[in-house]
């Protein structure tokens, strides 16, 4: 087919290799685009730089989430589902390709795409960019040049049509997702599906913790989010108690109590975890703290202390028998 310029985009040419179906998809912030791509040099050999088919997994990007190679959204917005098209892009659009490709290659290799950039200032990260770790990408970085992208568009999904990863959600979407996840977790608990319920509670906590990073600690916005986090963490810990993950409970309740040292329910769950791993002194201290903080739980504490005493006496008898057997003559 004839080569045509994309409207209002300087330095881009498009050639349709295989026509698609239907109308042009209407992209909006949060839409997910799934496609295969091949990147080639604009040389006589048309040297292949990257090919998503080699990894066997199509590429996915979320519209409006600041994907580093902005021109890709523009190219894909001109395609119909099922279409295969070839795009020539001038160097003004391809300057960031080496960094994008480095991230995609590291993901395909099972490595962290941000390796070497964590906890670094912007200037520090610039030094990492002197070498991508791949010779061909280093060449592209030193000498920006036109590139050819061959793309096959598989589907475009509206934000409401797929389960969105936490990182891809807006603030409003995260806040809306939390009560839904909380309710799903509660429903799974009633069915005694504690592992799945814990995953729901954990996902909700991640949403809220992410929002908290944008608030000043202990100020109104942060505290409001923290009030939503606390019951979710307690529910998560209850699921872990049911699953026998006692050290997981000790870790999360201790972290919670460092911020809220008057939370009786957190002490109660930590006490039960201590009791389960034979930490008698710590369990008794936490149970007594519960009774002090919340007298309405005194009856439950009394019952747990009685069970703890019986459990420890039984263990002492078993230990005594075991040790006596060690010293008896054969």
Residue 113: predicted pLDDT: 47
Using alpha carbons only, give the angle 121, 125, 127 rounded to the nearest 5 degrees: 125
What is the reported pLDDT for 327? 57
Q: Can you tell me the distance from the alpha carbon of 199 to that of 215, in angstroms, rounded to the nearest whole number?
A: 25
Q: How far is CA 328 from CA 47, 65, 314, 320, 321, in A?
A: 79, 71, 22, 13, 11
Alpha carbon distance 48, 50 (integer Å): 6
What architecture (CATH level 2) is domain 171-319? Alpha Horseshoe (1.25)
Cα gap 162→173, rounded to integer Å: 13
d(CA 99, CA 70): 13
Residue ranges of alpha helices (H) inside the chain are 52-55, 71-77, 91-94, 97-108, 122-128, 135-142, 171-190, 194-212, 220-243, 246-259, 264-276, 280-293, 298-327
Fold matches, 4-157 and 171-319: no
Q: What is the pLDDT of residue 27?
A: 82
Residue 142: the pLDDT is 87
Q: What residue segments make up the domains of the chain, in order of their start?
A: 4-157, 171-319
Three-state secondary structure call for residue 208: helix
209 CB neighbour count, 10 Å cutoff: 13
Close Cβ partners of 280 (under 8 Å, ≥ 6 residues apart) = 274, 308, 312
pLDDT at 1: 47
DSSP string of 118-141, one letter each residue: TT--HHHHHHHTT--S-HHHHHHH
Average pLDDT, consecutive stretches of 10 residues, N- to C-terminus, the chain (330 residues) = 64 91 84 92 94 84 74 91 94 89 77 46 42 85 92 85 61 84 93 93 90 90 94 96 94 94 96 93 95 94 93 82 63
CATH of domain 4-157: 3.10.50.40
Which structure tokens are listed for 189?
């608990």
For tokens 């209850």, the residue is: 238
**Which tens digits make up the pLDDT trace of 148-164?**
999 999 999 887 555 56
């Amino acid at each position: 087919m004839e080569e045509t310029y994309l409207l209002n985009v300087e330095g881009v040419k498009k050639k349709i290799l295989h026509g698609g179906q239907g109308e042009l998809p209407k992209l909006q912030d949060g839409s997910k685009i799934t496609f295969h791509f091949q990147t080639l040099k604009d040389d006589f050999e048309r040297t292949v730089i990257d090919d998503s088919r080699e990894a066997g997994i199509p590429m996915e990007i979320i519209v409006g989430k600041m994907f580093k190679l902005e021109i890709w959204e523009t190219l894909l917005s001109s395609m119909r589902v099922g279409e295969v098209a070839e795009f020539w892009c001038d160097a003004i659009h391809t300057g960031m390709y080496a960094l994008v490709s480095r991230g995609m290659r590291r993901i395909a290799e099972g490595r962290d795409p941000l390796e070497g950039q964590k906890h670094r200032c912007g200037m520090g990260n610039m030094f990492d960019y002197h070498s991508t770790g791949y010779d061909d990408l280093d060449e592209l970085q030193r000498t920006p040049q036109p590139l050819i992208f061959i793309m096959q568009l598989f589907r475009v999904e509206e934000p409401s049509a797929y389960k969105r990863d936490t990182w891809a959600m807006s603030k409003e979407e995260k806040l809306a997702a939390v009560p839904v996840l909380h309710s799903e977790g509660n429903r799974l608990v009633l069915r005694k599906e504690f592992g799945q319920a814990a995953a729901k509670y954990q996902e909700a906590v991640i949403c809220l913790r992410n929002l908290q990073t944008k608030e000043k600690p202990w100020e109104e916005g942060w505290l409001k989010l923290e009030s939503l986090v606390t019951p979710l963490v307690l529910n998560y810990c209850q699921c872990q108690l049911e699953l026998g993950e006692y050290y997981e409970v000790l870790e999360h309740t201790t972290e919670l109590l460092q911020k809220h040292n008057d939370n009786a329910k957190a002490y109660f769950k930590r006490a039960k975890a201590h009791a389960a791993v034979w930490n008698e002194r710590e369990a008794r201290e936490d149970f007594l703290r519960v009774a002090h903080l919340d007298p309405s739980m005194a009856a439950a504490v009394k019952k747990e202390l009685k069970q703890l005493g019986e459990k420890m006496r039984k263990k002492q008898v078993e230990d005594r028998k075991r040790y006596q057997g060690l010293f008896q003559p054969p």
